[in-house]
């Protein structure tokens, strides 16, 4: 369909292809999305000791996430204020101070400029070092072990930003009752052809692509099969749209995921069986006020660019995928694998090995998705693309009033719940995107 008027038309469920290819729109996103939203920076288990650091990106801006001498997690722009060189050249490390390789300016873990070569001879002792420290990210918050940052000093709190997603984050991701999560060392990184939003809205709530895109995996019984068998009935495969623009999918409330974990745990031995049963007991106690009893979810997105997969089982990898924008038609995926701290070593080993088999660059699912994104991107860069829209109109007009929804076992679940095939999460994603961009939706 030809694009008319609005770039994002949520009432009609239409999104202009321009927003995935226009260079001016992309540059505006860096300012209005990535400089105003809360962005994932890392996890406390990545920098457990004072002086530990990792490097990351906030949009296209490189940052150092550094635990200072007093134990606080901080973040700084990874650029020397002197001439702009990168100060930290490593992905991970530990240091009380970092020195720029160009002229040797040195900065401590509080970002202060503490060393200037030839300070007396070249600057005659008159350089005001208090003005030339590293540029600090003004808002950095650790929530449940996860470190988030925001360039906007006046931004709403992280708790308010998480909105309805916070309940799922607390109960189905962090699992404080099992000691929280820890990262398995290492990070899978790969480049893809495609605008960052293509990757992220796929995780927000697009189960619809699974039978077609991942048909080869489904044919051998890996992923997706159980959802189609259960269908969209009382205990179906649910999706949930969460204010302001987050989305989760693959939520079961019939106990089937727990039963599958129990069967697998019995094969793995008594230690694993005890872990799975105790985990379930504590989860049920934690969410006892909610009539519906979700065990986990299979995929999700925390707006704008933090994606999740694998939280449907206690015995597989729990992956966070950060989609870094690298231009209007390119992205870089950084993927970390997490597991609960209380998990037996055999479960942690299983998670580490399974991380490369599923949603991964050489896995069963990752390549399928990225091939689609590459072909889509080729077609968003053509002369005709500006005149065309993408269709996100599935389920328009049925939000909250799905046929038979009264019988669904979803009572008490936060957010707007829908069946496995819908596009409400994506429409909300692009409506919020348009709002932040100052566009009518």
* 364 lies in some domain: yes
- Does residue 210 sit within a domain? yes
Number of domains, the chain: 2
The answer to whether residues 100 and 249 belong to one domain is no
What pLDDT, on the 0 to 100 scale, is given for residue 38? Answer: 99
Q: Does any domain span residue 7?
A: no
Neighbours of 342 (CB within 10 A): 16
In a domain, 12, yes or no: no
Are residues 356 and 404 both part of a single domain? yes
Could you tell me if 128 and 258 lie in one domain? no
Q: What residues act catalytically?
A: 103, 206, 209, 214, 369
CATH of the domain at 356: 3.90.380.10
Chunked mean pLDDT (size 10), the chain, 441 residues = 72 97 98 99 98 99 98 99 98 98 98 98 95 99 98 98 97 91 94 97 89 77 48 66 95 89 97 97 93 91 97 94 98 96 95 82 79 95 96 86 66 88 94 95 67
Domain identity same for 368 and 266: yes
In-domain check, residue 382: yes
Is the peptide bond between 304 and the residue preceding it cis, with omega within 30 degrees of 0? yes
Q: Is the pTM of this model over 0.85?
A: yes
From 143, 174, 193, the end of a domain falls on 143
d(CA 41, CA 55): 9
24: Cβ–Cβ under 8 A, 6 or more apart, which residues? none
Examine the domain organization and report whether 185 and 138 are in the same domain: no
Tell me, yes or no, whether 365 and 239 share the same domain: yes
Distance between CA atoms of residues 294 and 276, nearest Å? 15
Domain-located, residue 30: no
Domain contains 338: yes
Whether residues 295 and 425 fall in one domain:
yes
Q: Are 283 and 388 in a shared domain?
A: yes
Total Cβ atoms within 10 A of residue 373: 19
Q: What is the CATH number of the domain that holds 55?
A: 2.102.10.10
Containing domain of residue 132, as a range? 39-143
């Amino acid at each position: 369909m030809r694009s008319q008027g609005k770039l994002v038309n949520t009432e009609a469920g239409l999104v202009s292809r321009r927003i995935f290819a226009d260079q001016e729109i992309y540059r505006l996103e860096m300012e209005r999305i990535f400089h105003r939203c809360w962005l994932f920076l890392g996890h406390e288990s990545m920098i457990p000791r004072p002086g530990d650091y990792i490097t990351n990106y906030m949009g296209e801006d490189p940052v150092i996430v550094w635990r200072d001498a007093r134990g606080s997690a901080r973040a700084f722009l990874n650029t020397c204020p002197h001439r702009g060189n990168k100060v930290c050249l490593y992905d991970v490390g530990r240091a009380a101070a970092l020195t720029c390789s160009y002229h040797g300016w040195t900065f401590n873990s509080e970002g202060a400029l503490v060393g200037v070569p030839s300070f007396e001879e070249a600057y005659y002792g008159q350089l005001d070092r208090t003005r030339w420290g590293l540029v600090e990210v003004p808002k950095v918050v650790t929530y449940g072990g996860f470190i988030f940052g925001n360039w906007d000093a006046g931004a709403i709190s992280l708790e308010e930003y998480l909105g309805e997603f916070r309940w799922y984050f607390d109960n189905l991701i962090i699992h404080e009752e099992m000691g929280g999560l820890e990262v398995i060392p290492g990070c899978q990184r790969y480049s893809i052809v495609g605008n960052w939003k293509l990757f992220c809205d796929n995780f927000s709530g697009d189960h619809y692509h699974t039978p077609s895109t991942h048909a080869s995996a489904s044919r051998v019984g890996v992923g997706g099969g159980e959802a189609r068998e259960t269908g969209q009935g009382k205990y179906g495969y649910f999706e949930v749209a969460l204010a302001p623009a987050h989305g989760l999918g693959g939520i079961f409330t019939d106990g089937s995921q727990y039963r599958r974990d129990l069967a697998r745990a019995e094969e793995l031995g008594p230690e694993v069986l005890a872990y799975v049963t105790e985990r379930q007991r504590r989860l049920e106690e934690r969410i006892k006020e909610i009539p519906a009893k979700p065990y986990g979810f299979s995929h999700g997105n925390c707006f704008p660019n933090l994606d999740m997969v694998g939280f449907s089982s206690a015995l597989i990898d729990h992956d966070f995928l950060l989609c870094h924008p690298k231009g209007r038609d390119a992205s870089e995926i950084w993927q970390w694998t997490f597991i609960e701290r209380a998990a037996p070593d055999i479960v942690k080993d299983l998670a580490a090995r399974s991380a490369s088999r599923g949603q991964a660059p050489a896995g069963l699912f990752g390549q399928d998705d990225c091939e689609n994104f590459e072909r889509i991107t080729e077609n968003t860069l053509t002369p005709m693309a500006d005149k065309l829209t993408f269709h996100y109109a599935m389920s328009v007009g049925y939000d909250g009033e799905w046929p038979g929804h009264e019988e669904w076992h979803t009572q008490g679940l936060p957010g707007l719940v829908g069946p496995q095939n819908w596009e409400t999460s994506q429409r909300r994603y692009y409506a919020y995107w348009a709002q932040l961009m100052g566009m009518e939706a």
